[in-house]
Amino acid sequence: MSYSTTNPYTGELIKTFPDATDEEVQHSLAAAHEAFLGWKETSFAHRADVLQKAADILRKNKRQYAEILTLEMGKIIGEAEAEVELSAQIMEYYVKNAETLLAPVELPVADPAEGKAKVVHDPLGVLLAIEPWNFPFYQIARILAPQLSAGNTLLLKHASNVPQSAAAFVDIMLEAGLPNGAFQNLYATRHQVETIINDPRVCGVALTGSEGAGAIVSSQAGKAMKKSTLELGGADAFIVLDDAEMDKTVKWAVFGRHWNGGQVCVSSKRMIIQDNVYDEFLTKYTEGVAALKAGDPMDPTTTLAPLSSQGAADEVKEKIAEAVKHGATATEVGTKVPANGAFVQPTILTNVTPDNPAYYWEFFGPVSMILRAKDEADAIAIANDSPFGLGGSVFTADEKRGERVAQQVSTGMMFVNHPTMVKADLPFGGVRNSGFGRELIDLGIKEFVNHKLINIVDIDAPF
């Protein structure tokens, strides 16, 4: 596994980083455990002070950090700045709420005369976070802020193409006053990841990534009797009902599919359009996609980014070709993207049927699958005909109708009149092949704590 920074826009190899040695891994494990023994005893106020300082540092140097994200994985600079801001907001959410979320819970016992019972939430210890390249800072903040707030410490194994992003976040936390060892970045190999999971000082692992990586890591964690959480792929449905406000819906569809270059687990990948508005939607959506401008992601006028690497771009192109081979129609849209750089021409797939394997795939790039639904019930059935269950959305002028449809779609998240979005104050996670467990709000902070019962019983009470 080679850790390196390669500019996706130019293809230039900027810098390489050596893999961690086995000795470095063992030193980091020892340091993380030693840090945990002190960090777990700190007050919520102290932890909040560190996180607030980290949020302040993120905002103070927003442009600097955004440029690192854009350099390493190619997202447009405005979206990179928004990611830095979102990371700061996640920090601040737990600054304000962690102590309340982890407050002891008094239990309503059947006979109060016998004693008192409560559940407390104790930190577990050292955690391993395995994170992807598509949101280099947000993915860290999403696991780091709640788990530090809970009293745990973390080892980070980030994606191999964002090594500078990973190192920068460690520096932010150290500058904010986090003790040495409490959050460390390791340029670990796959073999070393298994070693870390098996180490008795490590109490759990959180992974965001591919289905394949999730299957391997969760299996390793299970064999080691460690808890794991997984946030994997998605093929979010974007349902358009016949009463949707079409122009605004199309605008959201174009954005929902193409932000971050279409490389989002919760991108609007499957457009499911009710039959009597299908042609109108397809025409207007095609026009909207055609207006996207591919180019230098550092240029604020660019609206379509390159993919994260040439390998990622090649994989998307291969999937398009395979979809066509099995009967789909692929229509390239808009001005030709630059020949150099990891670009993929925006493509609309139609005539994709359930006997086409692409019908069930996740396309991680600017590829839109447009599916026709006979009616509302058919739209729901199509939405649920997927191995994934991460997010989704439904567009309608009738909020009650939208809520009714949302309740019938099997996902971890459903939005009415908005593409699936990520916010500091909303939970994140899915079902089926999209993984298990939740991140953010109270659900995330409680994933890796011991919900311990303390029962104070009258000595004369019966057993």
Q: Which residues are catalytic?
A: 231, 265
Could you tell me which residues are beta bridge partners of residue 126? 153, 202
Question: Amino acid identity, residue 97?
Answer: N
**Which residue from 252, 290, 293 is spatially nearest to 394, judged by alpha carbons?**
252
What is the 3-state composition of the chain as percent helix, strand, coil, each rounded to the nearest 5?
Answer: 45, 20, 35
CA distance linking residue 427 with residue 235, whole number of Å: 18
* Integer Cα distance of 300 and 298 in angstroms: 6
d(C-alpha 397, C-alpha 395), whole Å? 7
List, edge to edge, every strand of the sheet that includes 202-208.
183-185, 153-157, 126-130, 202-208, 227-231, 435-436
- Report which of 55, 43, 35 is spatially closest to residue 102, judged by C-alpha positions: 43
Alpha-carbon distance values, 222 to 25, 204, 229, 447 (Å) = 21, 10, 11, 16
Q: Which of 298, 336, 295, 249 is closest to 72 using CA atoms?
A: 298
* Residue with the two structure tokens 């303390």: 454
Reading the block at residue 274, the tokens are: 């009710």
Rounded to whole angstroms, the Cα distance separating 276 from 458 reads 70
